[in-house]
Amino acid sequence: MEAKTVEQILASVAQAHTLVQCAARGKLDNAVEKALALVGAAFDADRAYIFQTRDHVFIDNTHEWCAAGIASFKGDLQKVPYSVGELMWAAFKSHGVLLLPDITMVPMGTEIRQALTMQGINALIAVPIYQDAAITGFLGLDFCAGPRRFSSVDQQALLGLAATLSLALQAEFQTRKSGRLDAELRAVNERLRAMLRVAPEILLEFDADGVIVAFHHNAPLGPELNPTEIIGRPPEAVFPAQAASIIRLALQQAKTAGSSEALRYALLTDGQDKRFSVHAMMRKARGPGGAAGYLVILRDVTQSHLQDQHIRQLVRVADLSTNLIFLMDAGHRITWMNPASVNHSGIPLDEAMGKLPSEVLRLADSDPEAARIITAALDRGEDVEQEVRACSRAGQPYWVRLTIKKLCDSSNEIEAFMVVGVNVTRAKLAEARALQERAYTMDALLEGIALVQPEGRFIYINSVLRGFLKLPAEVPAQALSWHDITPPQFNALLTLLLPELYAQGSWQGEMDLREESDTGRCFDMSIAVQEDGNFLFIARDVTARKNAMREQTLLREQLQIAQSRQLVTQLAGGLAHDVANTLAVIAQVLETVKLAQDAPGALALGRIEAAVAQAQTLVRNLSQLGRRSARPSLIDLRPLVRQAAELLRPGLRSGAQLTLDLPEDPVEIRGDVTGVMQVLLNLLLNARDALRITRDQTGQITARARPCLVLDTAPAITLGHLIPGQSYAVLEISDSGEGMTPERVASIFKPYFSTKGDDGMGLGLSIVADIVATALGAIEVQSHPDRGTTLRIYWPCPHSQPANHAFAPPTLPALHGRTILLVDDDDDELLHMAQALSAAGAEVASCITPEDALDALSAEPDGWELVVTDMDMGLMSGIELGRKLRKVRANLPIVLVTGGDIGHSMTSDHGKEFAFVLRKPVSETALVAVCLDCLLRRAH
């Protein structure tokens, strides 16, 4: 903002002077507000204000102007002690002005420094306002943007304006004070006249004949009484007939008895029904020869009559009330009680007089603690609100809510107490029934529930929480304290939570509670503050859920490891196979070349041969990399399906649903838990990714499991073979996704084939194929574009065998007596397969080249029941060898072992030449199982 010139500032101040000096009577406040706005804007201040003080206290800052965006602090300094402004008063007395170009000049920690900082003030100038030579306030300008320098012109301008304001405010104050005094005087006069009107009193003096001889009055009973119109006249000539007759009756009684009764009469005066009393007394003769006479006093008793009437009505109300009502003296002794109190207590009024209320209510027997609290409060002169359990004389208990109020005299001294008791027995019984019903409800819940008082005492504990805390059922809740029975770590937590609990009204969280004799449990806890100040505590034992989550996490980690190991195995196996074939060709060429070389050349070739041998050793080690030794066991598919579903659910998009269809009885198979879980997760993830969810279309995934059964009809198997008569458990995963064409279905089990583009690696279903093939299972795929996909896994059941298959006795190996011809140009692989099949009881012959295998089969076509051949063997592949072997013997079963991507599908062109295709690395179990399966199918 552009700084104002001296001339502009002085012009604004002069205009403010004029506004204040010319303000009309009663308009000063408006003029002061405008003057402050002019001055504040002229000085570029953030606030301009006038503060007034009285009795050493800041009392008012009703005159205030604030710049745009600056908060008002009207009322913030109300009732602040005068001592806070000590710095101001000292500056006013010594310099006539307070200048604070920077509040850092004020010592830290002082009250005025704190007040200025709280308001965001960085600079301040203030000048005093006087009244009768005393400082009664000040005019101040605040600057919040930063420090500010003040010139002598600033000071003089504000001092001049303050002087004008002082004169104007003092004149306004005197005007208001004068008006206030006039109003007070008028009010006093009016009150006096009203008192005289409503409380008149007349003293009349009669002679022996009943004639008025003198009178004195505090105020007229009606029209103004003129002595000439009253003296020498009888009452009938002065007062209304009814009043005159009452006066005559009072004179007659005084003549007879020396004084009359206090006679009363009603009279309609000024439209009001008023009551008056008349009392007459005999006056003896005054001196010798004096005549006797009468003194008569007429008094307006309308107010006392109304009070008496009101008291009578109150007494009647108390008599008819169903509440208990006592009156006690200052010593707490009963002076009266109503009939309801007599009926409830069974104690008559005359017997109750002088007793303590606690004695009449028999609190010493039924509720001694309440009796002690009431007595202590009354001794301190305090009112009492207390609910007590009383007991009648007949021994019948009842509940009363007592309200005891002290009654004080005109000097505020206690002269009596009033007690009102409301019978709340029905409400207490209903509350007890509600508590009992709530207790039944809470006991039926699975959560632990308790009601706890703020000091830690229990009101209620349900049976579940008693079990959590190991509390005997016979120990009453009211005898227990929270701090005594809960673990120390929870007490420490509760201490920290109390501020938040009272601020928020509730708290929820989890806690692990562990003891030396306990393995540890986890609880989900909720604490809420009730309207009556008590705490509602709810605890749920979530230990099983936490354990399940930990197991799922562990299972997820194991699956990730298994997936990684499978990937490493496939990559290493394929690489090792290809390198091994290359090294085998090099070794064969070396053997041929060595025969034609001289000694120096043979030495060099020997070194090459040694290097090739070393490389072959490294390749063999590489082919074993990542292999995991599975541990088959008896498995129920149902819990694995549920676990896989729980792992998948968090990743489902909105609009996707996952449904499980599982039988009640176990679905048992024999397999590796990790492998089965890999199958489930890969199939479920593929189903999830296949869903196409839009605003108008949802997605559905269904996982089913069916117990072991022998299939009546053979399904269209996509991968593997089903053995006739063998029972299979069926695992089915279906989705409502986009589906696949038959061409895609034929390729989905090939390594690195993916329908997800860059988002997929193409290994999931390849891994599924390996695991299912190793288990001698089969896979059926049904899929149609835009109609979804269903995959069924047929898993051989344990302890099951084909109905019409004559297996060897259990004591003999699975391949006992079977003749198998092995073909592989890798010596180590050939040795590995030969050892596995020989261990299973087979008679094995090994061929290092395809030509040797052809020669062996040609020499004895029926001498071999099965051929197992490698895929890559130099100049002749396994496929070519298979075709040539078929020409020698058409019905010969052949198993092809490959490290490439020919896949597992028997619907390919190679399905006619080969009974089964195995991908390296081949486990011993899978090799034996596939050979046995081929031999059994050949037998049928």
Least confident range from 250-259, 400-409, 717-726: namely 717-726
Question: What is the pLDDT at residue 813?
Answer: 67
As beta bridge partners, residue 313 has none
**Per-residue pLDDT tens for 779-828?**
999 988 888 899 999 998 886 555 444 333 334 566 888 899 999 988 77
Contacts of 180 (CB under 8 A, 6+ apart): none
Distance CA 342, CA 361 (A): 10
The more confident residue out of 593 and 717 is 717
Contacts of 858 (CB under 8 A, 6+ apart): 888
Contacts of 122 (CB under 8 A, 6+ apart): 102, 103, 143, 144, 145, 146, 147, 148
Confidence of residue 449 (pLDDT cuts 50, 70, 90): confident
Determine which helix (DSSP H) or strand (DSSP E) holds 742, and give its type and residue range. Answer: helix 742-745
Distance CA 614, CA 550 (A): 46
Provide mean pLDDT across the span 336-351.
90
CA 530 remoteness from chain centre: 15
Provide mean pLDDT across the span 425-445.
74
Least confident range from 64-73, 135-144, 199-208, 311-320: namely 199-208
Output the pTM of the full model.
0.35
Distance CA 868, CA 858 (A): 16
**Per-residue pLDDT tens for 884-935?**
888 888 888 999 988 755 544 333 445 567 888 887 767 777 788 888 878 8
Distance CA 398, CA 416 (A): 26
pLDDT at 730 over 90: yes
pLDDT at 383 over 60: yes
**Per-residue pLDDT tens for 369-382?**
888 988 888 888 88
pLDDT at 610 over 70: no
The more confident residue out of 434 and 379 is 379
Name the token pair of 651. Answer: 């990743």
User: Cis ω on the peptide bond leading into residue 921 (within 30° of 0)?
Assistant: yes
Q: Nearest Cα to 126, choosing from 116, 141, 136, 112?
A: 141
Question: What is the pLDDT at residue 123?
Answer: 93
Mean pLDDT of the chain: 79
Helix (H, G, I), strand (E, B) or coil at 938: helix
Provide mean pLDDT across the span 388-399.
90
Distance CA 297, CA 286 (A): 20
- Per DSSP, 884 falls in state H
Provide mean pLDDT across the span 205-230.
74
pLDDT at 628 over 60: no
How would DSSP label each residue in 260-322?
Answer: ---EEEEEEETTEEEEEEEEEEEE---STTPPPEEEEEEEE-HHHHHHHHHHHHHHHHHHH-S
Cβ proximity of 845 and 871 under 8 Å:
no
Determine which helix (DSSP H) or strand (DSSP E) holds 733, and give its type and residue range. Answer: strand 727-735
Q: Nearest Cα to 705, choosing from 765, 665, 647, 764?
A: 665
| Helix-then-strand count for the chain, H and E | 27, 33
Question: What is the pLDDT at residue 577?
Answer: 59
Determine which helix (DSSP H) or strand (DSSP E) holds 473, and give its type and residue range. Answer: none
Confidence of residue 12 (pLDDT cuts 50, 70, 90): confident
Q: Nearest Cα to 870, choosing from 895, 892, 888?
A: 895
pLDDT at 661 over 90: yes
How would DSSP label each residue in 497-520?
Answer: HHHHHHHHSEEEEEEEE--TT---
Burial 100-129 (b: 16+ CB within 10 A, else e): beebeebeeeeebbebbeebebbbbbbbbb
Burial 700-718 (b: 16+ CB within 10 A, else e): bbbbbbbbbeeeeeeeebb
| Beta strands at 123-131 and 334-337: parallel, antiparallel or unpaired | unpaired
As beta bridge partners, residue 63 has 50
Question: What is the pLDDT at residue 903?
Answer: 42
**Per-residue pLDDT tens for 257-298?**
989 998 988 887 777 888 889 999 998 876 666 678 999 988
Distance CA 52, CA 59 (A): 6
Q: Nearest Cα to 925, choosing from 623, 718, 671?
A: 671
Q: Sign (positive/negative) of CA torsion 638, 642, 647, 652?
A: positive
Name the token pair of 245. Answer: 């007759």
Cβ proximity of 254 and 280 under 8 Å:
yes
Distance CA 385, CA 369 (A): 14
DSSP E strands, 45-175: 47-54, 57-66, 98-100, 123-131, 134-143
The more confident residue out of 739 and 723 is 739
Distances (CA, A) of 168 to 21, 49, 871: 7, 16, 116
pLDDT at 563 over 70: no
Name the token pair of 195. Answer: 């008192």
Cβ proximity of 361 and 345 under 8 Å:
yes
The more confident residue out of 437 and 298 is 298
Cβ proximity of 405 and 417 under 8 Å:
yes
Determine which helix (DSSP H) or strand (DSSP E) holds 787, and give its type and residue range. Answer: none
Contacts of 549 (CB under 8 A, 6+ apart): none
The amino acid occupying position 611 is A
- Per DSSP, 784 falls in state E
Cβ proximity of 820 and 847 under 8 Å:
no
Residues in the chain: 940
Distance CA 361, CA 419 (A): 12
Question: What is the pLDDT at residue 540?
Answer: 83
Distances (CA, A) of 792 to 11, 278, 563, 740: 98, 118, 21, 15
